[in-house]
Amino acid sequence: MEIRELRSFVAVARLRSVSRAAEALDLGQPSVSTHIKKLETELRTPLFDRVKRPILLTPAGERLAELAAPLIEDIDNLAESTKRAESEGPITIVTTPTLVAHFLIRALNDFRNENPHVRLRLRSRLRDEVSQMVSDGEADFGIVPGPGSAPDLEFEGLFPYEPMLIAPKGHELLKEPLSSLDPIADHHLVLMEPMTNTRTSLESALQRKGLRYEITVELDSMYSVKRYVALGYGVSVVPRLVIEREDENALGVANVGHLLPTELAGLIWLRGRTLSPLIESSMNAIRSTVATG
């Protein structure tokens, strides 16, 4: 039993005419008749009563029409559904809280304007969780603040994830370039929650040097970190990309890339996966944001 045979049967059942069904399907009348005969032979029962015109369905034909008509309709809608999926998505993108708030929101603006009907699903997770979601197929691609070690993921670098010291305007740490992390450890620290990338990098470096430090404020957003630092609760280390022009009114900033590792933030996707044109387009929009600054 083939789809083309069922399609011919459904058309004849609906139009009560082999010739009109052939015309509707853009087939020759002998082809449609052959399809019907093959079905009747396979099912071992007549499907149409051909004594009168228009032809009528037999009881077996009526039952087959009830079952086959919705199936053929669904199959005929597949092409349209596939085409719609290619133009509308959904696309699931996962990245870290910092990148989703400060980079991704800028990177996707032009893409959304050019593709207003696209369904975007954005997810914010810790770095290891980002990689896991992409590995498990729960996200089409991710953006991470540095290459991981997952062997099943492709990584494409986008921009340096530079660490910057922030402190209240006029703070003593900003008077001269820092030559070590020791002075930072001497001050209260305002940091993101545990396991976030920049905090992990800073704490690892302080611990390697055997420095004692105190985290007095722990927050879940870079915006809050900047606010508390500006209010004098302590100092922090943040990625350069979170520092906005307006922050310079309340914060002093110093590059500490010579004291802490500067990783390369980038795209990750499942190795060997075929990416749809729509997914490629969204990734290209992200690349363009980096290229144009």
Q: What is the pLDDT of residue 292?
A: 78
Could you tell me if 150 and 135 are in contact, meaning their C-beta atoms sit under 8 angstroms apart? Answer: yes
Could you tell me if 166 and 224 are in contact, meaning their C-beta atoms sit under 8 angstroms apart? Answer: no
Domain ranges in the chain are 3-85, 91-157+267-292, 163-261
Task: Supply the DSSP symbol for 189.
Answer: E
Q: What is the pTM of this model?
A: 0.70
Q: How confident is the model over 222-275, as pLDDT tens digits?
A: 999 999 999 999 999 999 999 998 998 899 999 999 999 998 999 999 999 989
Q: How far apart are CA 110 and CA 253, in angstroms?
A: 30
> What average pLDDT does this structure show over 30-36?
93
Whether 91-157+267-292 shares its CATH topology with 163-261 is answered yes
**What is the pLDDT confidence band of residue 150, given thresholds at 50, 70 and 90?**
confident
Q: Is the dihedral of CA 229, 233, 234, 238 positive or negative?
A: negative
Which CATH number fits the domain 3-85, given the four candidates 1.10.730.10, 3.40.50.300, 1.20.1440.60, 1.10.10.10?
A: 1.10.10.10
Amino acid at 228: Y
The second-level CATH assignment, the architecture, of 91-157+267-292 is: 3-Layer(aba) Sandwich (3.40)
> What average pLDDT does this structure show over 183-196?
95
pLDDT exceeds 70 at position 152: yes
How many residues does this entry show for the chain? 293
CATH 3.40.190.10 is held by the domain 163-261: yes
Q: How confident is the model over 92-109, as pLDDT tens digits?
A: 999 999 999 889 988 898
- Kindly state the tokens that stand for 175: 């008077």
Q: What is the pLDDT of residue 51?
A: 76
Mean pLDDT of the chain: 91
